[in-house]
Amino acid sequence: MKALLIRDLMLAIRAGGGFGLGLAFFLIVTVLVPFGVGPQTELLSRIAPGILWIGALLACLLSLDRILALDWEDGSLDLLATAPLPMEGIVSIKALAHWITTGLPLVLAAPVLGVLLSLPVPAYQWVVISLAVGTPALSVIGTFGAALTVGLKRGGLLMSLLVLPLYVPTLIFGAEVARRGAEGLTVQTPLLLLAGISFGVIALLPFASAAVLRINLR
Amino acid sequence: MSLWEYANPVKFIRTTDKVLPWIWALTGICLLTGLVWGFFFTPDDFRQGSTVKIIYIHVPSALMAINAWLMMLVASLVWIVRRHHVSALAARAAAPVGAVMTMIALATGAFWGQPMWGTWWAWDPRLTSFLILFLFYLGYMALWEAIENDDTAADLTSILCLVGSVFAILSRYAVNFWNQGLHQGATLSLDKEENISDVFWFPLLVCIAGFVLLFIALVFLRTQTEIRARRTRALLAREGQA
């Protein structure tokens, strides 16, 4: 499993696009928002937590089809399937690799971009914490979507359609944590719910992803 | 005599052929009486005026939108556990009907909301979760269309239906948390004191029965069509080989 993780990370770094793509997209979205809504600081700081969350979500979505598509095309997914590793383990590792290459950089970049959006000071820690807690859920749910559409030629659009409604609860609670943090309210309830969703999907969804992947490899 | 006999497509078609005319007739009767009664023979509400009559379409379609998904969930489970093709096809057949019901509920809700709340749309928990439900229907149908192999498609969509159900429920409670609503609470419960007045209740009940029957009839018909289409394809494939 460790070997697979290292291999995926190496591929993501060396093939380019892994780290860069999601991060660049995140940057572009957050930089474009002030052009769209105007430069008033009050407005920006009010919507900043939400924008950061939406940017992170879209950046995550953008890089989903890289999780499995490349391995599917060159046949290494078939090899992995016949390896002594359980399929659940494979999809979990894939999700973890996706989180390390996409989710983690987003978490680290969020405070920097927060400056651009004049994020209120108390919100910084909560944006980072909520993203850190929530992005693993995005990766795991995204892996499920990628596994569903892996066999399709033009699965990208379909995958977005399938994954976006699944992202709704995570987005709601994540953005709520960030918003309450920005307004100085107590964040405990949404944060716990967000963590609950994260742990829940990490624990259960790999089974669904693995089942789906097995069907697709049949 | 067990329910599983109808897993046989021939038996299913034969039986539904026999029942369908009756269901259609009952549907027609229920919808006609319910709607005519509701539209022309009930008083206007003292506060909402005649807009209250939207209820005769809005409530039944919203009810069926949710129940259609439930039916798909059950059919998907049956497909996963017992692998009866009729069940998978019934789930497929129900999806567009459910999607249309969701759309009708959203549209009539907007027409009702405009005069009553002064807005076509509000990010109210019920409205939002219906919109999400609609997205789920779209994704489900798109996945069916996208995959060529029938059995693979049935497997994948049924798992999507299971996972989607969990997330649909999660979203329902998440949006509750996120925004307080404009939409009224339930007033049709059987066990509550504060319910809708009987004058509106009885025609509504007839309408709901009509919509349920309409749903059953459409799903039977569409399932038959799916079975026949698949049979035709199999025949064509065999001809091609010969």
Q: How confident is the model at residue B180 (pLDDT cuts 50, 70, 90)?
A: low
Q: Determine the longest span between alpha carbons in chain B, in angstroms.
A: 72
Q: Is the CB of A197 inside 8 Å of chain B's CB atoms?
A: yes
Quote the pLDDT of residue B77. 92
Q: CA of B127, closest CA in chain A: separation in Å?
A: 14
Q: How far is CA B163 from CA A171, A213, B158, B171, in A?
A: 17, 14, 9, 12
Residues with Cβ within 8 Å of A112's Cβ and at least 6 positions away in sequence, in order, are none
- List helix spans (H) across chain A: 2-14, 18-37, 41-62, 69-73, 76-82, 87-98, 104-116, 123-148, 155-182, 188-217
Put simply, the answer to whether A151 touches B147 (Cβ < 8 Å) is yes
Chain B residue numbers with beta carbons less than 8 Å from the beta carbon of A144 are 163
High-pLDDT (> 70) share of chain B, %: 91
Chain A residue numbers with beta carbons less than 8 Å from the beta carbon of B171 are 165, 168-169, 172
C-alpha span between A138 and B120 (Å, rounded)? 32
Chain A residue numbers with beta carbons less than 8 Å from the beta carbon of B129 are none
The pLDDT tens digits of the residues spanning B38-97 come to 888 877 776 777 777 888 889 899 999 999 999 999 999 999 998 888 889 999 999 999
Give me the mean pLDDT over the B2-18 stretch.
Answer: 84
- State the residue for tokens 């001809």: B239
Quote the pLDDT of residue B3. 74
pTM attached to this predicted model: 0.87
- CB–CB of A197/A169 below 8 Å? yes
Chain B residue numbers with beta carbons less than 8 Å from the beta carbon of A212 are 156, 159
The answer to whether residue B212 scores a pLDDT higher than 60 is yes
The pLDDT tens digits of the residues spanning B151-173 come to 888 999 999 999 999 988 888 88
C-alpha span between A12 and B151 (Å, rounded)? 34
Q: What is the phi/psi pair of residue B119, to 5°?
A: -150, 150
Put simply, the answer to whether B147 touches A152 (Cβ < 8 Å) is yes
Which A residues 138-177 touch B at CB under 8 Å? 144, 148-149, 151-152, 155, 158, 161-162, 164-166, 168-169, 172-173, 176
Instruction: Give the residue from chain B lying closest to A211, CA to CA.
Output: B159
C-alpha span between B153 and B161 (Å, rounded)? 12
Chain A residue numbers with beta carbons less than 8 Å from the beta carbon of B177 are 172-173, 176, 190, 193
Quote the pLDDT of residue B95. 94
The pLDDT tens digits of the residues spanning B216-242 come to 999 999 999 999 998 998 899 888 876
Q: CA of B111, closest CA in chain A: separation in Å?
A: 25
Domains in chain B with CATH codes? 16-181+198-241 (1.20.120)
Measure CB to CB from residue B167 to each of A148, A166, A193 and give the nearest one. A166
Average pLDDT value over all residues in chain B: 85
Quote ipTM for the complex.
0.85
C-alpha span between A134 and A191 (Å, rounded)? 9
Q: CA of A2, closest CA in chain B: separation in Å?
A: 28
Q: Is the CB of B174 inside 8 Å of chain A's CB atoms?
A: yes
